[in-house]
Structure 1
Amino acid sequence: MRLLELLSDGAWHSGTALASALGVSRAAVWKQVQAARDLGAPVQSVRGRGYRLPGGYRPLDAAAIRSDLSATAAAVLEDLEVLASVDSTSSYLLRRDDVDNAACFAEHQTGGRGRRGRAWASPFGANLYFSVVCGFDPAPPAVGALSPAVGIALARALRELGAGTVGVKWPNDLVADGAKLGGILLEHRGEAAGGCRIVVGVGLNVDAAPGADDGVDQATARLSDLASPLPERNRLAAVLLDAVLRAAADFRSRGFAPFRETWSEFDALRDRDVWLETGESRIAARAVGVADDGALLAEVDGETRRFYAGELSLRPRR
């Protein structure tokens, strides 16, 4: 949205100046302000001063993100889009059937979601929401293992940026000091020829204002509190996208094996007492690692058992 680009410096802009820059009437400026607020952008208005976006923001830009990708990642990426608002970046890519390796970022989502149908808060311009569609032919034998594989890749990238406490809570949460920093959601569709398209959705809390995650049933963390200074927003987007593309490429060629070798380094609940929660039961267990197919290994009543992501949620026992 052009209005938000004009307000991205965080300064006050008069209605007259905005109308001139946009080539519209003052009344049309007000309508655009309302539309921006509907997206979740906290545009302020004060009589005699005009409008501003407190703190400003750096708009995501597809060309800037692509230019910061490694040569390896850029070579496999067929398409990269940045949308102002969308229901969810994953749903958007699932609706596209013209590319097998593409990425989509959005400043705002109206229907962002996590595992098991949970809503994912998506305030405008404060965090990062993106999805990557990856084609696999043949389909991998353990699709679910891609989630912890991507988690490891993202956690490693964030640690390299200075967020040294970031880990992975099986199967798909990025956490820091017990608080949720981000999440990963896999969705896939089989193809008639035997391959499949997997969409990897990522949501990362970067700098959302307090209260932006209202409704979330656990403590949350912000990357801006863990790593300072943060990279410029498009650079951060490129680092994370690069990590996902590289993880997908490694998973395509070697499966989960190389990720399992480093799982213990990033496992946020290793050797911790946990609850394994299904729809109707709660099992006391101890998390002891992951299997070669990405399944959780947990000790229950002295026996090591495998559990899969579709079956349960994992919570630490306090």
Structure 2
Amino acid sequence: MSQPNLQLQRQLLALLADGKFHSGQRLAERFGLSRTAIANNLQQLSQLGLDIFKLKGKGYALSSPLQLLDAAVIRNLQCNEVPEIRVQHITDSTNAQLLALIQAGKPLQPGQVIVAEAQTAGRGRRGRQWFSPFGSSLYFSCYWRLEQGIPAAMGLSLVVACVLAELLQQDYHVPAQVKWPNDLYINGAKAAGILVELAGQADAVCELVIGIGLNIRLPQLADQSIDQPFTDLQTHVAATIDRNVLIARLQQHLIGALELFNAAGFVPFQQRFNLFDLYAGKVVKLSGSKETSGICRGVDQQGALLLETATGLQTFYGGELSLRGAT
């Protein structure tokens, strides 16, 4: 199959975004291309997770109307003097894009953000793939600096999760909960994940990228690509989710929380996390090099997990640990 023409694909989607059928012949005439070229580009978009239907005699249509990300709209929604939010059409990974800018020595402002419509190599914690269909979710990466170095980053993923949970509760009245150390759940199913990636030395200024993947309105075939219970925000909200508004709001809230985190560490967020704790007071299993069971007692002032076990209260830090409810 030919290489994707990203500009053409965005123009095609702008037409198909109304959810109505559009004749393949008319699309071909509009763009001065063959019907085969139009079909190939729409097929490539389908492979990115878009539900595009083809009906003989009527043409092509999306399964539902689609709102595209719009850099100009987002700019108008931002508060004054906040850093840029860069909108990409299709990228490998928004985190990877920011990390590449850091490694290239490009000047970045703390709070600068990259978002994308789709990711071809989205990733989660422990190297797992993050399902990133086109126009269906939030793929959001934010640049930040910690003057105190890498050790100061402890608990940061929980800070970000709390910001997201508070925003969803405030703006959409959704009862979001946080699962230590980096996931957000709605009604017992995963809705978002957070991936913090560090670039810096332990005793020097630490540059980092905060990645947030939030399911907004997943396609019908999502269950073929996700191997755990999941949900999306639109399932729990009656009004249509405006991703452009959500992106601007998230950047604003996140910058405020990160500035507080820089000044005071995790301490101001300890109780905020405990309010959203998915497993508060519940029996859980913590897996890593060995398995530990106990009752979840929240987190300490550094964001470490507290488990009440048969041998007493134990403290666990992040890394390669996985937390699950005990059956």
Q: Normalising by structure 2, what TM-score?
A: 0.89
Equivalent residue number for residue 98 of structure 2: 93
Q: 1:255, 1:192 → 2: CA distance? A: 16
Q: Does the 8 A contact of 1:44 with 1:54 survive in 2?
A: yes
1:38 to 44, 47, 58: 47
2:300 aligned with 1:295, yes or no? no
Where does the alignment leave 5 or more consecutive residues of structure 2 unmatched?
1-9
Equivalent residue number for residue 211 of structure 2: 201
Q: Normalising by structure 1, what TM-score?
A: 0.91
Question: How much is the aligned-residue C-alpha RMSD, in angstroms?
Answer: 2.0
Q: Does the 8 A contact of 1:11 with 1:52 survive in 2?
A: yes
Which deviates the most, 290-299 or 26-35? 26-35
Counterparts of 1:49-88 in structure 2 under 5 Å? 49-71=58-80, 75-77=81-83, 79-88=84-93
1:106 to 112, 116, 120: 116
Equivalent residue number for residue 36 of structure 2: 27
Shift of 1:41: 2.2
Where does the alignment leave 5 or more consecutive residues of structure 1 unmatched?
none
Counterparts of 1:173-212 in structure 2 under 5 Å? 173-190=183-200, 194-212=204-222
Which deviates the most, 61-70 or 115-124? 61-70
Q: What is the one-letter code of the residue matched to 2:322?
A: S
Change (3 A) 1:20 1:248: farther
2:257 aligned with 1:252, yes or no? no
Q: What is the one-letter code of the residue matched to 2:43?
A: Q
Q: 1:146, 1:95 → 2: CA distance? A: 21
Which deviates the most, 84-93 or 158-167? 158-167
SS in 2 for 1:141: helix
Aligned residues: 313
Counterparts of 1:202-241 in structure 2 under 5 Å? 202-241=212-251
Equivalent residue number for residue 286 of structure 1: 295
Equivalent residue number for residue 6 of structure 2: none
Equivalent residue number for residue 122 of structure 1: 132
Q: 1:116, 1:192 → 2: CA distance? A: 21
Change (3 A) 1:213 1:184: farther
Q: 2:326, 2:183 → 1: CA distance? A: 17
Q: Does the 8 A contact of 2:146 with 2:153 survive in 1?
A: no
Q: Does the 8 A contact of 1:142 with 1:293 survive in 2?
A: no
Q: What is the one-letter code of the residue matched to 2:78?
A: L
2:326 aligned with 1:317, yes or no? yes
Q: Percent identity?
A: 38
SS in 1 for 2:268: helix
Q: What is the one-letter code of the residue matched to 1:112?
A: G
Stretches of 4+ moved more than 6 A in 1?
none
